Amino acid sequence: MRIVHMADAHLGFSSYGKFDGNKNIREYDFYRAFVTACEKARELNPDVVVIAGDLFHVRRPPAQAIAVAQSALALFECPIIVVAGNHDNSIHRVSSPLVTLSLLRNVVLFEQPSLYEVRGSYFYCVPYTESPPNFLEADYLVGHLRDRRVPKFKDSAIEVPDKYKIAMLGDLHMPFEVSQNTFYAGALERVSFNQLGVPCGFTFYSDGTARSRTFVEIETRPFVELTKPPEDLEMVRNAVVRCVIPSSASLDWVNQVRKVALHVTVRITDEVDVKDDLERDLPIVGSILDSFREFCQANKTKYSPAAIKLAIETLEEKSLGGKSS
């Protein structure tokens, strides 16, 4: 039994408001990661693919997210088990976006706990729940569950029993070994800096046993944290960057990073008390002034010189006030 274990694709996720034409760049990063993961998975000739929840990021994803999921999954010749995660399960009267996959002959959806058989082996499939499910007997477990043995989920009421050949879980955005046969596959792309330094990808079990587990990494957009100017701006080109600097530091080099990075966040750290960290997004006041002057120059026929002068003087006062405080 050759098993591919994916989770947390979060198709439809977008952030930063950066576009390439009419495409949100981060949204398409997630599509690209999923398509790449599926291509790599097909090369492994699996007997079954399991997706342990959060295939979609929201219950009403963009049409493109649905199209990407359908086209990528339709290319597999093996069964695909998809369990609902907390992001894509049905709630109240909002139906799950997973129903859009129901027409694919090879996809089996689970929004309720159920058993499913593949080549004589039984998979117990459990969608997201915060209450301990009734862990039925099966060869394998597939679940979007928060095992309390994971430090992040220590307050959870759930502990997955070690009675399955492999328990394949989703919801933790990093590959993690809970026990000798219970694993999180991690996410296919980074949602935040909580995943800094964590690889993205999926897990492959070449003979259906925990000991045959290997991690298949997916190349994704880099997340970089800086505490000083980079030696070469090329190392942060098109990256998502967090600059962590003390309040007394100059922000000049940060503005240089901003010119080449996809997105820059600045965390101002109080050197005395780190608990007072403040994280905020650029632009800073100086860059607002520069941008506003450019805007005024391009639109000088629309607004009176007096109004423009007053607005610039007000921004300059704010800038000076910020520097002296």
> Does residue 109 carry a pLDDT above 90?
yes
Contact 233, 258 (CB under 8 A): no
Query: pLDDT exceeding 90 applies to what percent of the chain?
Result: 76
User: 269 or 224, which is more confident?
Assistant: 224
Which range (28-37, 251-260, 294-303) has the least confidence? 294-303
Please state whether 92 falls in left (phi above 0), alpha (psi between -120 and 50) or beta.
left
ω into residue 283 within 30 of 0, thus cis? Answer: yes
Residues 6+ apart with CB under 8 A from 31: 11, 64, 65, 68
Average pLDDT over residues 1-5: 97
- Predicted pLDDT of residue 314: 58
User: 309 or 14, which is more confident?
Assistant: 14
- Predicted pLDDT of residue 249: 84
Residue 203's pLDDT band (cuts 50, 70, 90): very high
> Does residue 305 carry a pLDDT above 70?
no
CB atoms within 10 A of CB 259: 10
- Predicted pLDDT of residue 303: 56
Cα–Cα distance for residue pair 293/106, rounded to 1 Å: 57
CA 105 vs. chain centroid, Å, equals: 28
- Predicted pLDDT of residue 68: 97
Of 160, 201, 237, nearest to 44 (Cα)?
A: 201
CB atoms within 10 A of CB 303: 12
Average pLDDT over residues 89-93: 67
Mean pLDDT (the chain) is 88
Residue 210's pLDDT band (cuts 50, 70, 90): very high
Which range (105-109, 229-233, 263-267, 293-297) has the least confidence? 293-297
> Does residue 295 carry a pLDDT above 80?
no
The answer as to CATH 3.20.20.140 being correct for domain 3-217 is no
- Predicted pLDDT of residue 316: 55
Average pLDDT over residues 77-103: 87
Average pLDDT over residues 300-304: 56
Cα–Cα distance for residue pair 124/113, rounded to 1 Å: 7
- Predicted pLDDT of residue 250: 84
Q: What are the structural domain ranges in the chain?
A: 3-217, 223-324
Contact 40, 218 (CB under 8 A): yes
> Does residue 82 carry a pLDDT above 90?
yes
Residue 285's pLDDT band (cuts 50, 70, 90): very low
Residues 6+ apart with CB under 8 A from 130: 146, 156, 157, 158
